[in-house]
Structure formats: C-alpha cells, structure tokens
Amino acid sequence: MTGVRFTLDGREVEAAPGETIWNVARRVGVAIPHLCHLPRADYRPDGNCRACLVEVEGERVLAASCRRVPTPGMAVRSASKRARRARRMVFELLLADMPEGAARDDSGIFAQWAREMGVSASRFAPETARPAPDLSHPAMAVQLDACITCGLCERACREVQHNDVIGFAGRGMEATVSFDLLDPMGASSCVACGECVQACPTGALLPKSVLDAAGRRAAPPAKEVASICPYCGVGCQVGFRVRDDRIEEVVGREGPANAGRLCVKGRFGFDYIAHPERLTKPLIRLDGAPKDPADCLDPARARRHFREASWDEALERAAQGLARIRDGAGGPAALAGFGSAKGSNEEAYLFQKLVRTGFGTNNVDHCTRLCHAASVAALLEDVGSAAVTAPFTAATEADLLLVIGARPTENHPVAATFLKDAAARGAKLVVMDPRGTGLDRFATEVVRFAPGQDVALLNALLHVIVEEEIYDAAFVASRVDGFAELRAHLAAYAPEAMERLSGVPAEQVRRVARLYAGARSALTLWGMGVSQSVHGTDNARALIALALLCGHVGREGAGLHPLRGQNNVQGASDAGLIPMMLPDYRRTADPVARSFLEELWGAKLDEQPGLTVVEILQAAERGEIRGMYVMGENPAMSDPDLAHARAALARLDHLVVQDLFLTETAALADVVLPGSAWPEKDGTVTNTNRQVQVGRAAVPPPGEARQDLRIIADLARRLGLDWPQLQARDVFGEMAQAMPSLANITWERLERENSVTYPCAAPDAPGEAIVFRDAFPTPSGRARLAPAGLSDPGEMPDAEYPFVLTTGRELEHWHTGAMTRRARVLDALEPAPTVSLAPAELRRLGLASGQRLRVATRRGAVELLAREDPALPPGLAFIPFAYREAAANLLTDPRLDPDGKIPGFKFCAARLEPA
C-alpha cells in the first residue's frame, strides 16, 4: 500500500489510501477547525458546515478538508489568508443565530474553535426566530437556538446507533432537527443512548446533569477518569467526569467493545451511587428483632430493625457468627457465600478464596447460576470451554448473524449497534424469539416460535441441514465427533413434524436452515431465552450442534457467543465463584488443581463440589445451611419462588450482606456492611468478549463505606486467615499466578492498554479474539455433537392457569432495580411495574393499557399495570423483575435444569385478572 504524497502548508506529507486532508493534518499536528465532522471511524464525513475549508492550489473554490482526499502532488494551504477568512465567516454566521452570541456549551467544539479563532461576536443579525427549548426528556435538554444544523446528531442517531429517531424537518435555512414526527424528545421513540449529545458541537443537545440555571454548560469539563461501565457484559469504556467528588457526566471512550458508544444506563444511570439511601455506616440487627420477609417490601420499614455500628464491632460480629457455625455441629458445610458479578475480578477471586479456605467449603456461587449456567454446561461438554469463541464485534466480518433468545437492543444495546451495523452493511440477520424484538426490523428472517420449544425448532433446522447434506462435511470430518448418532437422532425431527410444537412453518425452517448452512461465516449469539429453561442445557446443545455442523466456529466472522450479562460475570466465573470449579474451571475433584492451589494458598481444599445458588437457599430452608455471606447480589429479588427464598434467608442463624443499599436481601441480614460502588474502585472486569479491562476509582465511597476488597480481607483475617491488606493490583498479581488464562496480562499492561483479550500468547501480542481455529480444548481436541431430545418446557398452562408467564428485563432497569430504581433518569423513564400483553389478550380481559391487573401463579400473586405490546404472541404475558412492589419472582417456578441447575425463569403457568 503506497500513500499519496502532497504538500500541506508547504510541508511534504503522505496520506494513506483514502485518508482525508483533515485526518492527515490532525495526524501531523496541523489543527484545522471542524464542526460537522467528528473524527471517529464510525462517523461519515459530511462536509456540510464549511468550518474546515482549505485552499487547494489551482482550484477556484475552497475544499472541505474533512471529505477531500488528496491527489499526488497536490498543494494544500490550511492557513492561507483566504481559507482563514472563509472559516471565520462560517463561525460568525453561525454565531449570529446563537443565544447571547455563543454556544451553549462553553467547553464544546464550537466554543473551543470560536475562542481559538478569536470569534466572539457576529456582524450579522439573527436569521430566524429562536426555537423554544424542549426540556421534555428526563436526561437531555434540546435547545435548538444553538443548533447549526451540522447533521452530526442525525448521523449519530441513524448511522452510528441505528435508532432512526432524529431527522431534519423543513428545508434550507428553515431546516430543523426533529424527533420522529416533530415530537417533543421526551415523547419520541428515543432510547436515550445520548450518542447525539456526545456528538453535538454546540450544546444544542446537552445532558441535563451539566446544565446551569440558564441552560448552559459553563465551565470546561472537570477531571475525567477512564473506567468501564458498571452495567452489562458489553464492557463499554467510559470516562467519569468528576467535579468536587461527584460524577457530573459520563462519556463514551473508544474501547474495543464500544468504539465510543454508550446506552442510556451507562450514560445517564450513574447517580445511584449518590442516592440518599446509600449505606454509609455498618448496620447490626437489633437483638430480638424479627426477620420478617414482609420487610422485603419496604427497606425503610426494615431499617427500624437495625442500629448503626462501628466497623470494628460490625466486622467482629459478622466474623464471629460465621466462625461459630463453621466450628459447630454443622461444620463448614453449613456455610455458604454468594459472590458478585458486579464487582471486580480481584474481589471475586478473594471472595471464593475466603469461602474455600476461611469457611472451608465449596458452597460458593453467584448469579451465573441463574443466567448462562445451562450454556456453560453445554459448552464445557461439547467444546471444552465456556467463554465465547468470538467477540460480538466479529459481526463486522460475518455474513450471517443468528440471534436467538436475546434482545440485545435492550440488554446489550451497544453490542446491538455492531449487529445493526453488520445488517446495514448487508449481512443476513436471523432473529429467533417467541417475542418480537428491537432487531426484527433489521432482520432477513424473523422466526417467532412457541416459548419453550427451542429444541423442536433447532432440531428441525438440524434435520434439514443433514437431510439436504448442506452441512460442512470437511469440518465435521476433521473437527467433531458424534455425527452418526446425531443424524440418527434427528430423523424424527422433520420440520413438518415439529411445526405443531414450535409453531414455525416448515417452509420457513427450510429457508433458514439453507441460509445458515450456506453462509460463508455465521456468528451465533444467544441469551436467556435459550439458557433460562428447565431444559436449557438441551437448548444450548442443539444450538451448539447447529454451529458445529455448519463449521461456523473458529474462523473470522464465525463463532459461538452466549452474550454474558453482568459487567463481570465472565470474570467472576473465571475467578472461581462456582461451586464445582476452582479458578479457571478446574474441577474441585481434580487432585492436581487442588494441590496446586493448596500450595499457593497455604490451605486445605475440599474436594466435594459445593451447592449452587438455588440449592443453597433450598438447603437453608431445610435448616442445613445456617450461615451466609452475600456480597453484591440480591437473591431476595432475583431467585425464583421468592416466598421460599425469602423464608430461607430469614431462617438463617447468621446472614452477612455487603451491598450499597439496604436491599430486600439486606433487610433479612444480621450484619450489613456498606461496600463500594464500581466508580469508587480500582479493579479489573472481564466482558463478554473475554476482554480484561481496568477500571479506576473516580470518586471516594460515601461516609464510612469501605472498599469491598478491604472488607473481604478484614473478614478473612477475623476468620483466622493470615491475609495481608492488598491493593487490587497485588491481588491481580496473585490471581494471575492462580489462573493460566491470564498469562501475559499484567496490571501494568492493563493500565497502559486499558483492555487485553485472553488468551494472550505473549506480553506484547494482542489477545486471541477468535479461538479454536485448529482444535478444541477437549481431551481429543475435537468437539462433540450432542443430541438433544424434547421435553416439557416447564409448568404447563391449564384451565386454572391458562397463560404462560415469561420474565426478563427492560432497557432502563437493571435486574432487581437496586441500582437503576435509584438512578433519577432511569427511574423517571420506567417508574412502575407493568405486565405486557398482546393487544387482543388485553381486550379479552376487558382492559386498556395502564389499568391494574392481577397476575397469579401457584406460588404467589402480584398487581401491576397492564401494557399493550404487539410484539407478544397471544397467551404469553411478560413481567420484568426489577420492581419490589410487584416482584416477578414471587411468581416464578423453582424447578431446575438437571445439568445447569438453572431455573426456568422464562416459563410458568399463570392466571390474569383485572385487579
């Protein structure tokens, strides 16, 4: 590749093929103003604002340098008098229409350049009447008096995030930014990703959190700390902008998983850490105060049962209670710990080490059990490793994307932008889900099927691929075992035979099978719809078989990607917060692994695998587990069949909860320890793409709240372990010794590079984004095609409970609502619990949207507001589990998948009636 030589202000420079004059100038340190141009790869240069005009020798008109690509020998003058005067004129004209002669964002790109060029007043009179501000959205202020119609917001909304809300109404001088059909922003279909706000050069769009009373952002941005978003497994790199120890604004940084983009939670959901209900002192339950599950309904009520205590007293009380049980009749097996996928890798590692060596049991688990446990079981069985084989950004190279049982536009919104990018580029997109999803409008095929019938659908696809011999025969021959058995098994699964169960026309199954098998490279992404089922492992087996059969693993643009949920669920699992596995998935029964860690930790390890999340609570209800330590989890909201789960927690002799808030779980505790929120700590997290990323403390914890890492170590010492007080970087060092997967990743390297993918072959090599190119990490090096059979999807509807109830999430809320219901913007966007139903079902019940409805199952009942949702099929009702006043999990069924031990959160029988 040879570059193009030309001169810039008399200096010889070279442009890469396709590189614009503006980009070359920036690279060599020549500053040219820009407004409508955002120097990010995903923003197309538009050249409409003329702020970047330069003179090209021999050309009559000035050229927009953001778009113009140089030709050999071209002489470009960026600083000629003519170019400078033209650019000045552009700024003056724009300024004429702005309030008080300046932009609304004094730190924005427009104001910076205006200052730089010495343009502070305009010779021109305002052209048009100033539009009134639109303050209808809880998060963003629209003040179009400062708008220069540069179009960046439209590109942000349409081309970068593919949300298609912002457009231009009117023509020429009258053109104005509009949301949908000239709706107020707050009433539009805007999903509040804030991409437009981040792109706007003038402050016409600003986050409300930075505005002064006059609607301006006055001072330049305060300190910006580079960290990671605390919400989902995408792992967006963020900048926390801090003033006076308060986060004022969050901006997207260009991390490998987000390329500068964020979603509503990451950008606007940060103020939970400063909510008045934040715990700032340790609490101890008053002697004799009853543990009443009804307190879970109202933390304020629960608070009366506690008194504040010193850290010394609280830690001593916490440790003594655990030690008494450990050393008593039940022994270590009467103790258990739930660690956190919301904390750092270092915390997760120390937590499991504390339970294994300080409690003396493997009863340690975390929310992964309620999440991808079934996927993990199937992946370990079939390909030998549970992490993704390709990052979601492999969508860029894929020519087909299959998304099943996941709604990335709501739950992994920034990952969704990459999928939408791929579809816009021409990749095929197949979406399979019982409910309509936000990706449907980008899809080539939308396969709506009956809930719980994944095996029927997937086996039918497999049947067609085998029958029509369109599988990847070479891949099957060289890389996988079990083909003959699978083929025999599939004979009974013709799409015509499965149609009755899955509801999918055989013709569509055949079409999709050919599409998927015929793709050059397909990326297979899935979520909770596959995993959270009493036969979730079978669902995942069938899906994995589909990818293996077609050879869609271990190549560019191909791979298996179970979208990981929590910000650190990949890392917490890797670090060993799993009852049957030590760090790096080595079985507790493996004597080599045990003795290696016994040496490193200087402690004896139990070879018996421990109990899982739901099993632990069931054992607690039977009185077999007597003491628990729960950090950064809220099982009194997130576990199935809450009446029982809460009774189990209440029955414990000793419960220690370490959280940010007096959660529904903490309401049942004996000791509550106030921990640190993510923006308050240093530490690493591992995202869904296997990227280990580093977060840095931006603000201190409030009051007497302490670093989680320190609390774990303090408890360990009080339980008799000889642990020094370590910083995150030191713990990372020990962790890297315990975990071969972290080879060649050091704290120093992470500080330097912010993100490194594991596995990584050398200290200076990039990590391996795509794995299993030549072999699978199984004893034979080959993968396994595992046949999956049909079984009931769970508790079947009947005359008494005729509906199927499914549960899950909304864009704005995080799980049990502990964080997001305490984030002002998010709570304002989704303030109340709802049950969504197909319009026809709503009519049948004689209800309209917004009316109260009672939903009952064999386990409990809740009341919530009805919401009409045409994306739901008849017979299916959806409830998000974020609302304590109508906790979805009072309704759900605790039956477990036999292999993954995951409950079927997506399916149980329910009755609906007007309240």
**Rule CB under 6 A: which residues touch ligand MGD?**
232, 340, 342-343, 367, 370-371, 404-407, 410-412, 433-435, 437, 451-452, 454, 527-530, 532, 563, 565-566, 631-635, 638, 658-661, 663, 675-678, 708, 806-809, 811, 813-816, 818-819, 881, 888-889, 892, 905-906
Minimum distance from residue 693 beta carbon to ligand MGD (Å):
15
**Choosing among ligand MGD, Mo ion, none, which partner's interface includes residue 50 (Cβ < 5 to 8 Å by kind)?**
none
Q: Which is nearer to ligand MGD, 143 or 707 (CB)?
A: 707
Would you say the C-alpha torsion 200, 201, 203, 204 has a positive or negative sign? negative
Minimum distance from residue 743 beta carbon to ligand MGD (Å):
27
Minimum distance from residue 691 beta carbon to ligand MGD (Å):
16
Pairing of strands 803-808, 861-868: unpaired
Pairing of strands 861-868, 834-837: parallel
CB atoms within 10 A of CB 780: 10
**Choosing among ligand MGD, Mo ion, none, which partner's interface includes residue 544 (Cβ < 5 to 8 Å by kind)?**
none
Among 116-124, 200-208, 371-379, 825-833, the segment contacting Mo ion (CB under 5 A):
371-379
Residue 166 · residue 192 · CB < 8 Å:
no
Minimum distance from residue 536 beta carbon to Mo ion (Å):
13
**Of 705, 707, 685, nearest in space to 695 by CA:** 685
**Choosing among Mo ion, ligand MGD, none, which partner's interface includes residue 833 (Cβ < 5 to 8 Å by kind)?**
none
Residue 891 · residue 794 · CB < 8 Å:
no
**Choosing among Mo ion, ligand MGD, none, which partner's interface includes residue 682 (Cβ < 5 to 8 Å by kind)?**
none
Q: Which is nearer to Mo ion, 190 or 371 (CB)?
A: 371
3-state secondary structure string, 302-366? HHCCEEECCHHHHHHHHHHHHHHHHCCCCCHHHEEEECCCCCCHHHHHHHHHHHHHHHCCCCEEC
DSSP code of residue 156? I
Q: How far apart are the first and last CA of the chain?
A: 70
Q: Name the E strands within 50-194.
A: 53-56, 63-64, 75-77, 140-142, 166-169, 176-179
Q: Distance of alpha carbon 647 from its chain centroid, rounded?
A: 31
Give the separation between CA 26 and CA 32, rounded to whole angstroms: 8
Q: Is the peptide bond before 759 cis (omega within 30 degrees of 0)?
A: yes
Give the separation between CA 659 and CA 635, rounded to whole angstroms: 12
Among 365-373, 479-487, 645-653, 742-750, the segment contacting Mo ion (CB under 5 A):
365-373
**Choosing among ligand MGD, Mo ion, none, which partner's interface includes residue 489 (Cβ < 5 to 8 Å by kind)?**
none
Among 241-249, 373-381, 558-566, 690-698, the segment contacting Mo ion (CB under 5 A):
558-566
Q: Which is nearer to Mo ion, 321 or 536 (CB)?
A: 536
**Choosing among ligand MGD, Mo ion, none, which partner's interface includes residue 888 (Cβ < 5 to 8 Å by kind)?**
ligand MGD
Give the separation between CA 99 and CA 346, rounded to whole angstroms: 50
Q: Which is nearer to Mo ion, 732 or 905 (CB)?
A: 905
**Choosing among ligand MGD, Mo ion, none, which partner's interface includes residue 633 (Cβ < 5 to 8 Å by kind)?**
ligand MGD
By CB under 5 A, the count of residues binding Mo ion is: 2
Looking at 269, 408, 565, 759, which residue binds Mo ion (CB under 5 A)? 565
Two tokens, residue 467: 């029958």
**Choosing among ligand MGD, Mo ion, none, which partner's interface includes residue 889 (Cβ < 5 to 8 Å by kind)?**
ligand MGD
**Choosing among Mo ion, ligand MGD, none, which partner's interface includes residue 404 (Cβ < 5 to 8 Å by kind)?**
ligand MGD
Q: Which is nearer to Mo ion, 374 or 443 (CB)?
A: 374
Give the separation between CA 34 and CA 113, rounded to whole angstroms: 8
Residue 142 · residue 204 · CB < 8 Å:
yes
Q: Which is nearer to Mo ion, 285 or 412 (CB)?
A: 412
Pairing of strands 586-587, 581-582: antiparallel
- Report the run of H or E that residue 424 belongs to, with start and end: helix 413-425
Give the separation between CA 444 and CA 87, rounded to whole angstroms: 46
Minimum distance from residue 682 beta carbon to Mo ion (Å):
25
Residue 185 · residue 167 · CB < 8 Å:
no
Q: Which is nearer to ligand MGD, 658 or 755 (CB)?
A: 658
Q: For residue 584, which amino acid is it? A: D
**Choosing among ligand MGD, Mo ion, none, which partner's interface includes residue 567 (Cβ < 5 to 8 Å by kind)?**
none
Pairing of strands 75-77, 400-404: unpaired
Helices within 778-846 (DSSP H only):
824-829, 839-844
Q: Binding string, 138-177, against Mo ion, x = CB under 5 A?
A: ----------------------------------------
Residue 380 buriedness (CB in 10 A; 0-12 / 13-18 / 19+): middle
Minimum distance from residue 902 beta carbon to ligand MGD (Å):
9
Q: Binding string, 514-553, against Mo ion, x = CB under 5 A?
A: ----------------------------------------
**Choosing among ligand MGD, Mo ion, none, which partner's interface includes residue 465 (Cβ < 5 to 8 Å by kind)?**
none
Q: Distance of alpha carbon 91 from its chain centroid, rounded?
A: 40
Axis crossing angle, helix 728-738 with helix 345-353, rounded to the nearest 10: 70
Minimum distance from residue 343 beta carbon to Mo ion (Å):
15
Minimum distance from residue 822 beta carbon to ligand MGD (Å):
8
Minimum distance from residue 862 beta carbon to ligand MGD (Å):
12
Q: Which is nearer to ligand MGD, 541 or 594 (CB)?
A: 541
What size, in residues, is the chain?
915
Q: Which is nearer to ligand MGD, 162 or 586 (CB)?
A: 162
Task: Tell me: does residue 371 bind Mo ion (CB under 5 A).
Answer: yes
In 3-state terms, what secondary structure has residue 298? coil
Residue 525 · residue 406 · CB < 8 Å:
yes
Q: Which is nearer to Mo ion, 252 or 562 (CB)?
A: 562
Q: Which is nearer to ligand MGD, 436 or 777 (CB)?
A: 436
**Choosing among ligand MGD, Mo ion, none, which partner's interface includes residue 291 (Cβ < 5 to 8 Å by kind)?**
none
Q: Which is nearer to ligand MGD, 20 or 570 (CB)?
A: 570
Q: For residue 905, which amino acid is it? A: F
Q: Which is nearer to ligand MGD, 555 or 821 (CB)?
A: 821
Minimum distance from residue 564 beta carbon to ligand MGD (Å):
7
Q: Which residues make up the interface to Mo ion (CB under 5 A)?
A: 371, 565
